[in-house]
């Protein structure tokens, strides 16, 4: 089942005696864990909550706990993480997991316990008997990272929850800045909700000013400043990146990536490629391609090649220690903006 399917069941109090949460999207796993705990245990009833790391505790001990009646409560919740025995190749441990004990338990789970097995792995071996029994007698939630084309849907879902609206042109900012990191996305949307208030609208300017910038997205803004011939803005962005502990040499690499993408998009456009074809060819984020398509018209092929040459020269100057990196980078920005 998908994350949303299982989440809906849990919120409707349809609780399974056994859960398997597997996948690499920590946001999904942590939220399901939180919602199951909330549904199974009354607030503050931690006496009936047990947590195990299956890299340190054999599964048979977990099963023994599950078969024990709860203390002063209707149900107990048992959370067990890292079931490496569900992988195609099990890891070597100083003890052996009695997987048969789990298989027997799955055939007749205790009514007074809810067992949640968390496997933060990309995949499990579904051919194993225990995996089949988990799927047959329990509830399996696949917690895989969301696809790029679904990011806008998740932004809308999260903003609906906090009752705010995202302006159409602000979606691009959120998608590029936060990509598919749902935990970060939720935190930033909560911050935006506090700023605009219930029923408020997040504009592009608000999004750009408030959300936490990544170095990659900041390099996009740096390219914008160069295109706009805005030296003050370019230096300001550079100072922000310095505060993020970004090295000037690394920033040259980021700028080179952006201008190289613009050049490649320009060349592909001349060959008649569509935006989806360019994305597939270059393996870049859709927003990066979209932005590059808007920028390529501002440059000739020769101008882009000259910019890349200047970046390569500045990179060599820094690496050879001919000039302080910070000064060399500021001079590079001046040169790019002056010669554009």
Which residues on neighbouring strands pair with residue 77, listed in sequence order?
49, 114
Q: Which residues contact 52 (CB under 8 A, 6 or more apart)?
A: 61, 62, 65, 78, 79, 80, 81
CA distance 297 to 115: 58
Q: What is the C-alpha to C-alpha distance for residues 159 and 142, in angstroms, rounded to an integer?
A: 23
Compute the half-sphere exposure of residue 324: CA atoms within 13 Å on the CB side of its CA: 3
Q: Judge whether 143 and 24 are in contact, CB under 8 Å.
A: yes
Whether the Cβ atoms of residue 58 and residue 98 lie closer than 8 Å to each other = yes
Q: Please report, for the chain, the start and end positions of each structural domain, with discontinuous segments joined by +.
A: 3-142, 148-210, 227-339
Average pLDDT over residues 90-112: 90
Distance CA 334, CA 329 (A): 9
Question: 22-45: per-residue pLDDT in tens?
Answer: 998 888 999 999 999 999 988 777
* Two domains, one topology: 3-142 and 148-210: no
Six-digit token pair at 6?
A: 């299982």
Q: What is the pLDDT of residue 214?
A: 60
Tokens of 241: 């990146």
Range of lowest pLDDT (57-61, 135-139, 204-208) = 204-208
pLDDT at 176 over 80: no
Q: Looking at residue 215, what is its pLDDT?
A: 57
pLDDT at 216 over 60: no
Phi then psi dihedrals of residue 322, to 5 deg: -75, -20
- Which CATH code for domain 227-339? 1.20.272.10
Q: Which tens digit of pLDDT belongs to each residue from 220-272? A: 678 778 888 888 888 888 887 887 777 888 888 888 888 999 999 999 999 99
Q: Which two structure tokens, joined as six digits, stand for 158?
A: 């999260």
What residue ranges in 7-164 does DSSP mark as E strands? 18-22, 49-53, 76-81, 113-119, 139-142
Tell me the average pLDDT across 208-213.
73
Q: 76 with 113: CB under 8 angstroms?
A: yes
Say whether 11 sits in a helix, a strand or coil. Answer: helix
The DSSP string of 79-109 is EEE--GGGSSSPPP-SS---HHHHHHHHHS-
Instruction: Give pLDDT tens digits for 276-287.
Output: 899 888 887 777
Q: Let me know if domain 148-210 sits in CATH 1.10.3720.10.
A: no
The CATH homologous superfamily for domain 3-142 is P-loop containing nucleotide triphosphate hydrolases (3.40.50.300)
pTM of the model: 0.61
């Amino acid at each position: 089942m998908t994350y949303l399917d299982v989440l809906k069941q849990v919120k409707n109090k349809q609780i399974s005696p056994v859960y398997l949460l597997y996948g690499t999207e920590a946001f999904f796993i942590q939220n399901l864990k939180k919602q199951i705990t909330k549904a199974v245990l009354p607030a503050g009833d931690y006496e009936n909550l047990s947590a195990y790391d299956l890299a340190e505790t054999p599964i048979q001990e977990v099963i023994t706990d599950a078969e024990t009646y709860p203390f002063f409560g209707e149900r107990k919740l048992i959370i067990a993480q890292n079931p490496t025995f569900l992988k195609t190749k099990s890891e070597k441990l100083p003890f052996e997991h009695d997987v048969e004990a789990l298989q027997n338990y799955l055939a007749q789970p205790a009514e007074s316990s809810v067992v949640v097995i968390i496997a933060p792995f990309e995949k499990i071996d579904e051919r194993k008997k225990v995996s089949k029994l988990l799927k047959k007698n329990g509830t399996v939630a696949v917690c895989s990272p969301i696809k790029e084309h679904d990011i806008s849907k998740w932004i809308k879902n999260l903003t609906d929850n906090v009752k705010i609206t995202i302006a159409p042109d602000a979606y691009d900012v959120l998608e590029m800045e936060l990509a598919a990191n749902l935990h970060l996305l939720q935190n930033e949307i909560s911050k935006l909700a506090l700023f605009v208030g219930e029923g408020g609208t997040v504009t592009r300017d608000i999004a750009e000013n408030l959300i936490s910038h990544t170095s990659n997205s900041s390099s996009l803004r740096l390219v914008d400043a160069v295109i706009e011939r805005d030296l003050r803005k370019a230096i300001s962005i550079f100072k922000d990146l310095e505060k993020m502990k970004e090295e000037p040499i690394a920033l040259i690499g980021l700028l080179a990536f952006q201008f190289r993408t613009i050049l490649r998009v320009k060349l592909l456009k001349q060959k008649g490629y569509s935006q989806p074809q360019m994305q597939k060819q270059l393996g870049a984020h859709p927003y990066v391609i979209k932005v590059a398509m808007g920028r390529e018209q501002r440059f000739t092929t020769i101008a882009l090649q000259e910019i890349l040459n200047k970046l390569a020269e500045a990179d060599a100057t820094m690496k050879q220690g001919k000039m302080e990196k910070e000064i060399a980078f500021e001079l590079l920005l001046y040169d790019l903006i002056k010669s554009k």
